[in-house]
Amino acid sequence: MAHLASRSVIIALASCMLTGLSAPAPAEAREVVAFRDGNFSAGTVVIRTNERRLYYVLGDGRAVRYPVGVGKAGKQWSGATMISGKHLHPDWSPPAEVKRDKPFLPNLIQGGSSKNPMGAAALTLMGGQYAIHGTNMPGSVGGFVSYGCIRMYNADIVDLYGRVGVGTRVVVTR
């Protein structure tokens, strides 16, 4: 497996260690819905933390809606950013905060491993601290479960990965 070229990308992805349940979940849960918020143009990713939903705005009053896992208490954030990188089967290194909480974790988990919490793909966000990514714990999607990253079903992150590019605007609201 190819390693991510940049240590900073691994560090960014590392901040996404998530806790969660292991209950089975659907392979995909996206659906096209009405989206009439005129504040967002087509191609924007909107994450509504309180709903635990991510919207990819299609325009014409429609969006693709995905269920997501979001930051647990004390780890939620809001604001506008953009996608700074796209990675398939990324490696993952736990950041210091996660290592402190879970010292048994290895320093690196290879991409594609069933133990890698990043899942099938990751979209890193500008600033390097958070990502929108897949998961190895699908039962946690829909909960308040992460250290601040946005967690999706693997089939859904692969779908979103194909729709967005580097530079895509991302807005997170509470």
Q: Model confidence over 35-91: pLDDT tens digits?
A: 999 999 999 999 999 999 999 999 999 999 999 999 999 999 999 999 999 999 999
How far apart (Å, rounded) are the C-alpha atoms in residues 141 and 60?
28
d(CA 24, CA 88): 23
Residue of 147, 141, 122, 140 lying closest to 132 (CA atoms):
122
The reply to whether 89 belongs to the active site is: no
DSSP state of 59: E
Catalytic residue among 16, 87, 89, 133: 133
Whole-Å CA distances, 109 to 1, 48, 91, 100: 11, 30, 6, 17
Q: CA 14, CA 73: separation in Å to the nearest integer?
A: 19
pTM of the full structure:
0.84
Catalytic, 87? Answer no
Of 23, 170, 144, 156, whose CA–CA distance to 83 is shortest? Answer: 170
| Average pLDDT taken over every residue of the chain | 87
Identified catalytic residue from 16, 87, 89, 149: 149
CATH superfamily of 7-26+69-173: L,D-transpeptidase catalytic domain-like (2.40.440.10)
